[in-house]
Amino acid sequence: MVQSQWPYWLPLRSDLRNISPYGAPQIEGVIALNTNENPFPLPGEVAEAMSIRLNAVIGNLNRYPDRDAHGLRQKLAHYITQSTGVEVSEENVWAANGSNEILQTLFLACGGADHLSLGFIPSYSVHPLIAQITKTPWFAGSRDEDFGIDIAKAKKLIRDKSPHLVFVTTPNNPSGSSTSIADLKELAEATGSVGGLFIVDEAYAEFSEEPSAVTLLADFPHVVVVRTMSKAFAFAGARTGYLIAKPAVVHASLLTRLPYHLSALTQAAAETALEFAPAMQSEIELLITERERVANAITEVGYRVVPSSANFLLFGGFSGESSAIWQAFLERGILIRDIGLRGFLRVTIGTPAENTQFIAVLHKIAE
């Protein structure tokens, strides 16, 4: 909806009148490779255990849920301890309806008109969007041609700007490229030296070989790692995201979360998923193998593909406009993502059959 269409009686904030709601197209009857979802449904044994658990919860829906999601946070802490080797407890974890809500909770707690936020673009566009919604100024630092972060430049930028919030997404969306733990450490140091919070968005961490920024927590109290169950856990529809940080960050999040924000159904479903973590994540290896197959196919037709450690690929080098290439894919039944980055498109890794179809269409388009 554009500004002229807002009704005169709606006291909408003036700074929101010209923005569009976030959203990727949701189109029926096509192969959707546009939102970095995991293409595999829940394993049967997990679905069964979950429905038994949810049935029990349904009998209690007259009651508010556990406001502080203790059981879920314990299970998330256990998962992080096991998968990263860093001992964390419930006190280090906060959970919400997707990591987007976690990001919003952090912005509400530590952002605001007199608190600068800073990120390195192109990256996850929801970071600056939530900055805007929460009236937090945003400074867009840049990435280099290969979508990496020039650490010397970034450290200087952080020291010059003194941001309260610094965001690094790794593996990065939309490029798929990773920032090494050594580089994250340098950026964390720089952010600490100006009194900022260093937020590492690790939505795709399970697809990457790099150690998690959770390993920095012992030395840097101002590091916050944001994670989601939407990708590696194939759990996007259940909306569960979380952060791992020092307890003070969790306490600050309690100030800005809505009361009873996480439904009893979500908590029970997520707890069950975590009890079955290996089964829920059993397709990660296959997705990584498929990622390399699709990347090779893209290179073979003469396009450029950015090396990825996530479940998607950014590719470019088209002779025409990327919007026309996007349309050509759609007309052939494949929905990929035009993230508004000139000369590039992003494709999510699907099932082997979906990827084969993508590759077949790719060949036709690149002819």
Ligand X SMILES: Cc1ncc(COP(=O)(O)O)c(C=O)c1O
For the chain, how many helices (H) and strands (E)? 12, 12
Sheet architecture: strand order including 304-305: 304-305, 312-316, 344-348
User: Does 163 help bind ligand X (rule: CB under 6 A)?
Assistant: no
Tell me, by CB under 6 A, how many residues bind ligand X: 13
**Distance between CA atoms of residues 353 and 358, nearest Å:** 9
User: Does 119 help bind ligand X (rule: CB under 6 A)?
Assistant: no
Describe the crossing of helices 322-331 and 352-366 by its angle, rounded to 10 degrees.
120
Instruction: Respond yes or no on whether the N-terminal peptide bond of residue 171 is cis (omega within 30° of 0).
Output: yes
User: Does 228 help bind ligand X (rule: CB under 6 A)?
Assistant: yes
User: Does 92 help bind ligand X (rule: CB under 6 A)?
Assistant: no
- Which of residues 100 and 253 has its CB atom nearest to ligand X in the complex? 100
The only residue of 183, 201, 206, 271 in contact with ligand X, by rule CB under 6 A: 201
- Which of residues 124 and 358 has its CB atom nearest to ligand X in the complex? 124
The only residue of 34, 38, 134, 173 in contact with ligand X, by rule CB under 6 A: 173
Q: For strand 93-96 and strand 117-121, is the pairing parallel, antiparallel, or unpaired?
A: unpaired
Segment contacting ligand X by CB under 6 A, of 4-12, 76-84, 95-103, 153-161? 95-103
> Whats the size of the chain, residue-wise?
367
Asked whether 269 and 53 are in contact (CB, 8 A), the reply is yes
Give, as ranges, the residues between 310 and 339 that touch ligand X (CB under 6 A): none
Q: Binding mask 232-251 vs ligand X (x if CB under 6 A, - otherwise)?
A: ----x----x----------
User: Does 124 help bind ligand X (rule: CB under 6 A)?
Assistant: yes
User: Does 266 help bind ligand X (rule: CB under 6 A)?
Assistant: no
Residue 304 phi/psi, 5° resolution? -100, 135
- Which of residues 106 and 203 has its CB atom nearest to ligand X in the complex? 203
**Distance between CA atoms of residues 284 and 79, nearest Å:** 16
What minimum distance in Å lies between the beta carbon of 242 and ligand X? Answer: 9
Q: Locate tokens 């005169």: which residue?
A: 8
Looking at the DSSP bridge assignments, the partners of residue 119 are 140, 167
What minimum distance in Å lies between the beta carbon of 300 and ligand X? Answer: 27
Q: Which helix (H) or strand (E) holds 81?
A: helix 70-84
What minimum distance in Å lies between the beta carbon of 130 and ligand X? Answer: 10
Looking at the DSSP bridge assignments, the partners of residue 201 are 169, 226
Segment contacting ligand X by CB under 6 A, of 96-104, 113-121, 207-215, 336-344? 96-104
Instruction: Respond yes or no on whether the N-terminal peptide bond of residue 259 is cis (omega within 30° of 0).
Output: no
Segment contacting ligand X by CB under 6 A, of 113-121, 159-167, 228-236, 351-359? 228-236
- Which of residues 235 and 315 has its CB atom nearest to ligand X in the complex? 235
Looking at the DSSP bridge assignments, the partners of residue 312 are 348
- Which of residues 92 and 348 has its CB atom nearest to ligand X in the complex? 348
What minimum distance in Å lies between the beta carbon of 365 and ligand X? Answer: 25
Closest residue to ligand X, judged by C-beta, is 98
Q: String of b and e for 230-253 (b: at least 16 CB within 10 Å)?
A: bbbbbbbebbbbbbbbbeebbebb
- Which of residues 171 and 361 has its CB atom nearest to ligand X in the complex? 171
**Distance between CA atoms of residues 124 and 341, nearest Å:** 12
Segment contacting ligand X by CB under 6 A, of 61-69, 72-80, 92-100, 185-193? 92-100
What minimum distance in Å lies between the beta carbon of 100 and ligand X? Answer: 4
Q: Is the dihedral of CA 119, 123, 124, 128 positive or negative?
A: positive
Binding residues vs ligand X (CB under 6 A): 36, 98-100, 124, 169, 173, 201, 203, 228, 230, 236, 241
